[in-house]
Chains A and B, each alone.
Chain A
Amino acid sequence: MINIVKRYLPTTLFLASSLLISFATHADGRIKGTGGVSSVSGAGGGGLIPWATLTSLATEEQRGLTGFATYIDLNDFTLDVLGGAVNFNDRVEISYARQNFTIKANDAEITQDKFGLKVRVAGDLLYGKMPQLALGIERNRLRDPDIARAVGAKDDNGTDLYLSAARAWIDGVFHRTSMLNINLRYSQANQYGLLGYGGDDQDIRLQVEIAAAMFLTRSIAFGAEYRQKPDNLSALQEDKAADVFVAWFPNKHISVTGAYVMLGKIAGAQQQNGFYLSIQGAL
C-alpha cells in the first residue's frame, strides 16, 4: 500500500496542481482529435513518439490539461505508464510520466521519471501554409539504475531533444482528414532510457521518428508510427520500434487508444511484440 502511494504520489500531485492551474479555463477550442493522445513519455503525441501537436484542445486563448494511463503487454515484459501534461495557450506544453517496466520472468521492476517541455515555434496543424513545428526536450531519470549499470550504460539519466513537424490535410487520403508527423531526435537513451543512457558501443545520436494517421470518421482515427533508436550497448542489441493504432474520441474529453507494438529485441529477449492500451482524459 505504502509502495503504491509512493509510486503514484508525484503523478497525483502533478495532476492536482495542473488541475488547479487550468481549473477556471475551458479548453476545448480545437477540433476534436487534433490534440492527439498521450505518448509514453507523457508529451502530447501518438503513442511511441511525441508529435508536434500540443496536448489537449486548448487554443491560444486557453489552457488545457490531460491525464493518462497506458499499459503495454509484451512477450517478456510489461510497461505501465501514468502521467499528465499541461498546455499553456497552445504554445508551451509541460509533461510528466512515470514509467514502470516489469520483467515478467522474475518480477523485477525498473522505474523511470520523464519530464518534458515542448514549445510550438511556428505554423499550425490544420490551417495556413506552414506545418506545425515544435521543439521538445525530455529529461529522464531512472529510479532503479542497477540494471542499467549492469548492462553497461554510462548514465542513469539523460536528456533528449527533438524537433517535430506535423501537418494535417482536412481533405486528405481518400478525402479523409490525414496527418503526417516527422521528428528528428537527439538521444542516447537505451530502450527509452529504461536501460540507461549511452554505452560501450555508442551509436549515432540522431534518430528519425515518423507517424501517419487518418480519421475514418470524426471520432475514429487509425495510423502507424516508426521510431529509430540508438544501439549503444555491445552486449544487447536494440531495434527500431513500430506500431499500428486505432484511437477513439467519443467526445472532446476522453480518448481510448489501442495499438499493436513491435519493439524488436529488448535486453536480449527476441521479438517483443504486444498490445498497447491507453486512456486519456482532457480538460
Chain B
Amino acid sequence: MLTKCSFSNNLLAFTLTLFLTNCSGIRSQENLYEALGGEVALERIADNFILEIANDDRVIGYFEDTNVERFRQFFIEHMCMLTDGPCEYTGDTLVDTHVGMNITEAAFNAIVEDLMAAMNKADIVIGTQNRLLARMAELREQIIQM
C-alpha cells in the first residue's frame, strides 16, 4: 500500500513541477521567425493556407469579397511581425479587418485547423507551430463575433 501511495504522490509532484517550471518561462527561445524558416517559409505557409481556406466549406463564405493578393501580402507581413521578423505590418488593424464579419467560435477554430494543415504541408515541426499558434490565440478577442 505504501508503495502505491508514494507512487501516486511522486507522480503528482513530478507533474506539478513540470508545469510550474514551464510556466515560469525557463525554456530556450530561438527567434520564432528564424525557427519557422524565414520569408520563404512564411510564403509557403501563406500559399498553403489560402488553398486550405479555398477548400474549406466551413469558412470560405467569409472570404467572398477578399482580394487574395492583398490577403496574402498582409498575412505574410502580419506573421512576420508576430514572429519577431524584420517586417512592418502595413495593413489595417485586426479589429478593422474583421468587424462586421460575425466570425463564430467554430469558424475561428476552423481557420486555426486550416493554418495547422498549411504548416504541416510546409513541414513546420509541431513545437514551432505551437509557438506561433499561441501568439495568434492572443489575438482571438480582436477577431471573433464583431
A residues in contact (CB < 8 Å) with B = 28-32, 59-62, 90, 126-128, 169-178, 180, 210, 212, 217-218, 224, 226, 239-240, 242, 244, 262, 264-265, 270-271, 273
Nearest residue (CB) in B for A262 is: B4
Inter-chain contacts of A171 with B (CB < 8 A): 130-131, 133-134
Inter-chain contacts of B112 with A (CB < 8 A): 31
Among the stretches B5-13, B41-49, B61-69, the one at the interface with A is B5-13
Extra inter-chain contacts (6) besides given A175-B130, A218-B116, A218-B126, CB under 8 Å: A29-B110, A90-B105, A212-B18, A212-B19, A226-B8, A226-B11
Most buried by A among B7, B131, B137: B137
* With known contacts A239-B1, A264-B5, A173–B104 Cβ distance under 8 A: no
* With known contacts A210-B12, A226-B8, A262-B8, A175–B104 Cβ distance under 8 A: no
Nearest residue (CB) in B for A273 is: B4
Q: Is the CB of B104 within 8 A of A271?
A: no
Counting chain B residues whose Cβ lies within 8 A of the other chain, the interface size class is 20 to 34
In the bound complex, what is the Cα–Cα distance between A226 and B19 (angstroms)?
15
Q: Is the CB of B130 within 8 A of A177?
A: yes
Nearest residue (CB) in B for A240 is: B8
Which of A170, A239, A240 lies in contact with B134, CB distance below 8 A?
A170
Q: List 20 A-B contacts (CB under 8 A).
A: A29-B106, A31-B112, A59-B104, A60-B104, A62-B106, A169-B22, A170-B130, A170-B133, A171-B130, A172-B22, A173-B19, A175-B126, A175-B130, A176-B126, A176-B130, A177-B130, A224-B15, A226-B12, A265-B1, A270-B1
In the bound complex, what is the Cα–Cα distance between A224 and B116 (angstroms)?
27
Q: Is the CB of B137 within 8 A of A170?
A: yes
Most buried by B among A171, A173, A176: A171
Question: Is B73 in contact with chain A by the CB < 8 A criterion?
Answer: no
Inter-chain contacts of B18 with A (CB < 8 A): 173, 212
Q: Is the CB of A174 within 8 A of B127?
A: yes
Inter-chain contacts of A172 with B (CB < 8 A): 22, 130
Q: Is the CB of A60 within 8 A of B126?
A: no
Question: Is B97 in contact with chain A by the CB < 8 A criterion?
Answer: no
A221 to chain B, nearest CB (A): 13
Inter-chain contacts of B110 with A (CB < 8 A): 29
* With known contacts A31-B113, A175-B128, A180–B19 Cβ distance under 8 A: yes
